């Protein structure tokens, strides 16, 4: 017992010493290089705009209805609100005085111009993959947008999370710095897809479970998880029981990302935002490349899905579900859940309905939703909300029904689960 306490003490002291050392060694301002700012050509600025879209910078750095990139948007986290900073090239309140070196250091290591360590809500853990050349193009683009004078609003994080020094510990545990290294065994297309998905796309930020420290491990990348504070479930991209794409056609994957809907399913909630602000602007080639990479992600579980649970469902619940489905849903999703082309997604054989978390399906029934309007689908179809027409029992029954009917392999849901989500404000 004694020995163990002493050992623990050593570990603690060691950690404290390491933290202090790291704190003292934390980065400061970069040396100024006079005349280092090169003249960006139109071509570079345009490429930068394209890459900034791929990185979806605008989604976080713009307040609803506010000027692009001028910040101010609250970003709720389990630790309190962050207020996203102004990244327009205003000299006093934005990043107008930053050099391309400052900008690359920020993208690559998560350190701001003055040496401040950034919170990982800025997805630098993904952007570290971005090449110097691409970082410079994004920089050139941001320097070309209209500067907006607008002071940053201080974050409202609870103690101890408002202590940025804590980030040193977080970084040691969860942050690996490094540009994307192409895998020579894979095709150029695959590598392009991997670069976009792991880097600018920051897909793992949502599609990976985060732990109590707000960290996620590389080894769990794309395994899916609840998005904190949003109550949407971002499905696993590696499990064919969730949104694993192993058995999808490449074109359907590319459509889902770029068009926002496909023959296999449509996007909604936070994923609709990603498509609307970012993925719809991808070139066909890049959308295809991402599809190639996503389809190749190694499946986490290879066993076949469990057989239908329909026989385990109380017959009266099944009957209420069937009746509700026929009256309220079948005109769009089809008598047998077959859907209708890319307009109304199929519910039969749709993994995103049968996956173990029923949260997304319940929320769809309560709040409805429109697929995002995109360049390739500017007039999307939508689903109406049913929260005011169906009580908890009917919502649970119809969601249970679509999860088990037509040989779907989902499990039943309870009225309590429906009730919990009903009180949330739709977003």
Q: Does 95 bind ligand HEC (CB under 6 A)?
A: yes
- Residues of this chain, 67-86, that bind another protein according to CB under 8 A: none
Q: Burial level of 263, CB count in 10 A (0-12/13-18/19+)?
A: middle
Alpha carbons 399 and 347: distance in angstroms, whole number: 11
Stretch that binds ligand HEC, among 35-43, 176-184, 311-319, 380-388 (CB under 6 A): 380-388
**Contact in structure between 254 and 288 (CB atoms under 8 Å):** yes
Q: Does 31 bind another protein (CB under 8 A)?
A: no
Q: Does 368 bind another protein (CB under 8 A)?
A: yes
Which partner, another protein, ligand HEC, none, binds residue 422 by CB below 5 to 8 Å per kind? Answer: another protein
Distance in Å, CB of 316 to ligand HEC, minimum? 18
Distance in Å, CB of 380 to another protein, minimum? 7
Nearer to another protein, 313 or 390 (CB): 390
Q: Does 276 bind another protein (CB under 8 A)?
A: yes
Alpha carbons 51 and 130: distance in angstroms, whole number: 10
List CB contacts of 185: < 8 A, sequence separation 6 or more.
none
Which partner, another protein, ligand HEC, none, binds residue 64 by CB below 5 to 8 Å per kind? Answer: another protein
Among 302, 51, 285, 299, residue whose Cα is nearest residue 187: 285
Q: Does 76 bind ligand HEC (CB under 6 A)?
A: no
Member of 305, 334, 385, 415 binding another protein (CB under 8 A): 385
Token look-up 């050593």 returns 10
Alpha carbons 285 and 281: distance in angstroms, whole number: 11
Total site size for another protein, rule CB under 8 A: 41
116 φ/ψ angles, rounded to the nearest 5 degrees: -65, 135
Determine which helix (DSSP H) or strand (DSSP E) holds 168, and give its type and residue range.
helix 166-174
Report the SS3 class of residue 51: helix
Stretch that binds ligand HEC, among 5-13, 28-36, 40-48, 83-91 (CB under 6 A): 83-91
Stretch that binds ligand HEC, among 6-14, 40-48, 121-129, 409-417 (CB under 6 A): 121-129
Q: Does 352 bind ligand HEC (CB under 6 A)?
A: yes
Q: Based on C-alpha coordinates, what's the Rg of the chain?
A: 24
Determine which helix (DSSP H) or strand (DSSP E) holds 234, and give its type and residue range.
strand 232-234
241: tokens are: 């029981």
26: tokens are: 């934390």
Member of 40, 45, 137, 138 binding ligand HEC (CB under 6 A): 138
336: tokens are: 């047998």
Nearer to ligand HEC, 36 or 425 (CB): 425
Token look-up 């995002």 returns 372
Distance in Å, CB of 392 to another protein, minimum? 8
Which partner, ligand HEC, another protein, none, binds residue 105 by CB below 5 to 8 Å per kind? Answer: none
Q: Does 79 bind ligand HEC (CB under 6 A)?
A: no
**Contact in structure between 312 and 412 (CB atoms under 8 Å):** yes
Please state, in angstroms and as integers, the Cα–Cα distance from residue 2 to each residue in 7, 338, 342, following that order.
Answer: 9, 66, 67
Distance in Å, CB of 310 to ligand HEC, minimum? 16
Distance in Å, CB of 196 to another protein, minimum? 21
Member of 246, 373, 376, 420 binding another protein (CB under 8 A): 373
Q: Does 417 bind ligand HEC (CB under 6 A)?
A: no
Q: Which residues bind another protein (CB under 8 A)?
A: 64-65, 272-273, 275-276, 327-328, 331-332, 340-341, 343-344, 367-370, 372-373, 378-392, 419, 422-423, 425-427
């Amino acid at each position: 017992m004694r020995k163990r306490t002493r050992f623990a003490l050593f570990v603690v002291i060691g950690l404290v010493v390491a933290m202090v050392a790291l704190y003292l060694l934390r980065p400061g301002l970069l040396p100024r290089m006079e005349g280092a700012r090169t003249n960006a050509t139109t071509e570079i600025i345009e490429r930068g705009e394209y890459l900034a879209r791929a990185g979806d910078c605008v989604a976080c750095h713009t307040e609803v209805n506010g000027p692009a990139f001028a910040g101010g948007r609250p970003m709720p986290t389990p630790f309190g609100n962050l207020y996203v900073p102004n990244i327009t090239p205003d000299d006093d309140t934005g990043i107008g005085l930053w050099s391309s070196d400052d900008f690359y250091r920020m993208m690559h290591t998560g350190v701001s111009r003055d040496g401040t360590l950034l919170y990982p809500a800025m997805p630098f853990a993904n952007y570290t993959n971005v090449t110097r050349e691409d970082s410079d193009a994004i920089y050139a683009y941001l320097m070309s947008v209209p500067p907006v004078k607008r002071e940053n609003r201080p974050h409202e994080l609870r103690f101890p999370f408002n202590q940025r020094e804590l980030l040193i510990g977080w970084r040691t545990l969860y942050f690996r710095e490094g540009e994307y290294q192409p895998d020579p065994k894979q095709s150029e297309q695959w590598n392009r897809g991997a670069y976009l998905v792991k880097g600018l796309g920051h897909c793992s930020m949502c599609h990976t479970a985060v732990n109590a420290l707000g960290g996620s491990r590389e080894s769990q990348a794309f395994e899916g998880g609840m998005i904190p504070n949003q109550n949407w479930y971002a499905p696993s991209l590696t499990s064919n029981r969730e949104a694993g794409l192993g058995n999808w056609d490449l074109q359907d994957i590319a459509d889902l990302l770029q068009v926002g809907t496909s023959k296999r399913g449509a996007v909604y909630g936070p994923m609709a935002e990603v498509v609307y602000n970012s993925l719809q602007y991808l070139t066909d080639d890049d959308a295809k490349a991402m599809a190639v990479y996503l389809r190749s992600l190694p499946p986490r579980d290879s066993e076949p899905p469990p057989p239908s649970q329909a026989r385990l469902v109380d017959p009266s619940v099944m009957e209420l579900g069937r009746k509700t489905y026929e009256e309220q849903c079948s005109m769009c999703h089809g008598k047998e859940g077959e859907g209708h082309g890319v307009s109304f997604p199929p519910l039969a054989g749709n993994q995103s309905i049968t996956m173990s978390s029923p949260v997304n399906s319940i929320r769809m029934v309560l709040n409805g939703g429109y697929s995002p309007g995109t360049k390739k689908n500017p007039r999307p179809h939508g689903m109406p909300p049913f929260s005011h027409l169906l009580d908890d029992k009917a919502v649970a029954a119809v969601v249970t029904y679509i999860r088990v009917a037509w040989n779907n392999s989902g499990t039943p849901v309870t009225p309590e689960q429906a009730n919990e989500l009903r009180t949330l404000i739709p977003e």
